[in-house]
Structure 1
Amino acid sequence: MKLFSCLLIALRWPRRVLGISKLSAFEFLKAIHPDLSNNQLLDLLREQNKDLDEILAEHHRQLACERDLTRVLRNLDVGYRIIKRIGDANRCVNWADLVIAIGGDGTFLLASKLITNNEKPMFGINPHPGTSNGFTMPMESSADIGRIFEKLRTGDYSLLMRSRIRTIMTGEGLYRQPFHVHEKSRTRGERRIDALMRSTQRKIADALQPRQRILPWLALNEVFMAEFFASRPITLTIQADNEETFTTKSSGICVCTGSGSRSWFRTMNLQTVETVQTLAAMATGKQLDEKETDELLQKYHNNLLFPPEALRMAYMIYEMYRSSRCPKSIPERQMCHKVKIKSRGFDAGLVLDGCVSLPFNDGSTATFDIRPEYSLKNIILP
């Protein structure tokens, strides 16, 4: 991983710090049941057979980290705001000199969506070490927050300009309120007349909106396009850079950055020990032992990764349907600087970094590119 060295003057001592904190599972439960007391909430968790000890431990670790951060900032005479709701944080980003994500990988990704330029620095503090989902974003430990700011004060850090993907979409429904994937609602239980009325109202509203939009969210990790029903394939037309356009049917497509190449993109491409040994035996007639197989797998998986600051992206067609009529030359995976994708989806979505989602149905197109000005300034401490 290439790091860009910097002097203290490159990052002035922050006078205003914005902390974007994860909402713990217990706080989320309180938010959706505001009329219940803490004891009643605990009884509810017991009824649901939840791991009560782990939920409370996570909650207390999160609160302890927030308290430690505010104590350090107060002692340093640095202005601060600790925000738990993204809608509130959105109004505070311009105010802050430094943004800190307090949580895991998901919190870091959500917080990065609020920074729309390559000038505002950001880093993450993880109150729950060992609970990362595999997204290899370096997170600082909450064990000694004072040490973190001492390193910032002395200039003992580096900057990594992590590339991000800009998305330009054409189609309908581009200005609807985006939703989280787990909040995707259906018309189950809704009267047909009500569903038709709501659909008509939405179509009228869409007709009055522009049919092209530069999305305000830059993808730090990846953009994924597919049908919301996992069992339904999607047909997509793809053009990478200035190459020939091709059409394919699959379970979806993932377009990722160098940061994202260490996450879902890598998982999509993982191979098993059994597959490697079978292919090697068929190709060479030799049965690889465990050590040889591990070395070959490690080499293959490392080859999937590329630098987080690289000004290029990779796409991966997920579970591509191949038939006798399908051209064998269609690349399942490819590096590129720009890619354009047209949807023939029925109830499809475009999802940025696993959170923000918009409709991506028949006729909609999305164009992705990477430029230096889209990068995220990520502080890296030794």
Structure 2
Amino acid sequence: MQILHRKSEVIRREFKRSLQVLLFLSPSFSEKVRSNLSSMKIFSRKESTSFVPKRVLVLTKISRYQFEKMREPDLDESLLRLKLKERGSDYEAMLTSHYRNKAAELRTTEVLRKLNIEYKIMDRVTTWRVFVFRLYFEKEEDIVDTSQNLPEERRLPWLALNEVFIGETLSARTSSLLIKLDDEEKYHKVKSSGLCVSTGTGSTSWFRSISCLSPQTVKDVLSIADPQKIYASEDVENICSEYNNRLQFSAEDARMNYAIRDMIVSETWPLPKSMHPRGFCVRVMVRSLCHDSGLVLDGGISVPFPMGTIAILETYPEDSLRNIVLE
């Protein structure tokens, strides 16, 4: 009986801590729940679904203001403000957004402190550097010149959360790529403005922008399908919105979705058989036929992708993130 009582107290304490985090992240929770938090009773709970972290890594966003400061380290605040205004940037809005991000960071860490949860704050630049050095420089004597004798095959020291984009560095130049999906034996030669391979997490961002339809396009297609019928602007908007919303897929989906941007199709360059401009896949193999192309991870890291280089894109269960979904 005493053991059961102690177990109940532990569950009660863990639930209270989790609910405090939820109340912080969801201010719209009723005041009644807040006032009765200390006297709340637990009637049922599945321990297997309970998760109370002991340590938390807070990955902060680099604001545009911080980015500009890093670009111009020798400028003081007044000169930076003047330069940004000359460039046409809104310095005040940029600074306001930066302070808003920092305030959110402060509120988050304050809650973690109150809950006695150990935490560490890192920005994306610091995190990338840590991953690189951990991979290549485990020991001081291992630091060597890696520009020579690179292995023919190597795994990049970064992971992409949202998407990987492959294309020519000069955006006006056509990207020529050989693409092989899943277990296909032969490559498809594709000319386009680039290839975007997205996870479910990134399906609301760059992938959606490449694949979405505009109301004008929908209206033109409908007029061809039925020239006699006139569609109201509201109907066109609804159809367009419904189509674009369906481009998003679950972040828990282990598949990827590729999108070929501005795929070139003409009489002299027909659409490759069985190669669609967009579709799901679990593995993508790409060989570069470009002059000066790059492989861009999450819009932040660019890796040279010269002619003849082969990139294999796939996901692994061990790289999955463990997230908290707040409803």
Q: TM-score with structure 2 length normalisation? A: 0.71
Alpha-carbon shift at residue 237 of structure 1 (Å): 0.8
The C-alpha deviation readout for 1:264-310, integer Å capped at 9, x for no partner, is: 11111222222222222222222322233223223322332222211
Specify which of 176, 179, 187 is matched with residue 238 of structure 1: 179
Match of 1:253 in 2: 195
Name the CA shift for 1:50/1:299 in 2 (closer, same or farther; >3 Å).
closer
Alpha-carbon shift at residue 24 of structure 1 (Å): 3.7
Task: Return the alpha-carbon distance in structure 1 between the equivalents of residues 111 and 311 of structure 2.
Answer: 44
Task: Return the alpha-carbon distance in structure 2 between the equivalents of residues 52 and 302 of structure 1.
Answer: 34
Does residue 114 of structure 2 align to residue 75 of structure 1?
yes
Determine if contact 1:227/1:234 at 8 Å carries over to the other structure.
yes
The C-alpha deviation readout for 1:310-332, integer Å capped at 9, x for no partner, is: 12112111111112133333422
Q: Which has the higher helix share?
A: 2
Structure 1: stretches of 5+ with no match in the other structure:
1-5, 94-112, 117-174, 176-203
| Paired positions, count | 270
Name the CA shift for 1:296/1:210 in 2 (closer, same or farther; >3 Å).
same
Match of 1:51 in 2: 90
Match of 1:270 in 2: 212
Task: Return the alpha-carbon distance in structure 2 between the equivalents of residues 261 and 37 of structure 1.
Answer: 39
Task: Return the alpha-carbon distance in structure 2 between the equivalents of residues 331 and 56 of structure 1.
Answer: 44
Does residue 104 of structure 2 align to residue 65 of structure 1?
yes
Report the secondary structure of 1:373's partner residue.
Answer: helix
Structure 2: stretches of 5+ with no match in the other structure:
1-44, 137-144
The C-alpha deviation readout for 1:174-214, integer Å capped at 9, x for no partner, is: x9xxxxxxxxxxxxxxxxxxxxxxxxxxxx96551102112
Match of 1:315 in 2: 258
CA RMSD of aligned residues (A): 3.1
Name the CA shift for 1:314/1:36 in 2 (closer, same or farther; >3 Å).
closer
Q: Which has the higher strand share?
A: 1
Give the residue type in structure 2 aligned to 1:217.
W
Give the residue type in structure 2 aligned to 1:274.
Q
Give the residue type in structure 1 aligned to 2:122.
I
Match of 2:159 in 1: 218
Match of 2:14 in 1: none
Task: Return the alpha-carbon distance in structure 1 between the equivalents of residues 243 and 85 of structure 2.
Answer: 45
Task: Return the alpha-carbon distance in structure 2 between the equivalents of residues 30 and 295 of structure 1.
Answer: 43
Name the CA shift for 1:356/1:28 in 2 (closer, same or farther; >3 Å).
closer
Report the secondary structure of 1:335's partner residue.
Answer: strand
Bigger Rg, structure 1 or 2: 2
The C-alpha deviation readout for 1:14-66, integer Å capped at 9, x for no partner, is: 33333232344444454455555545544555555543332332233233333
Report the secondary structure of 1:308's partner residue.
Answer: coil
Name the CA shift for 1:35/1:205 in 2 (closer, same or farther; >3 Å).
closer
Moved more, 335-344 or 72-81: 72-81
Higher normalized contact order (CA 8 Å, seq sep 6+, divided by chain length): 1
Matches within 5 A, 1:6-25: 12-25=51-64
The C-alpha deviation readout for 1:98-137, integer Å capped at 9, x for no partner, is: xxxxxxxxxxxxxxx99x9xxxxxxxxxxxxxxxxxxxxx
Determine if contact 1:20/1:89 at 8 Å carries over to the other structure.
no
Give the residue type in structure 2 aligned to 1:262.
T
Give the residue type in structure 2 aligned to 1:71.
E
Specify which of 306, 322, 326 is matched with residue 377 of structure 1: 322
Matches within 5 A, 1:334-349: 334-349=279-294
Does residue 249 of structure 2 align to residue 306 of structure 1?
yes
Q: TM-score with structure 1 length normalisation? A: 0.62
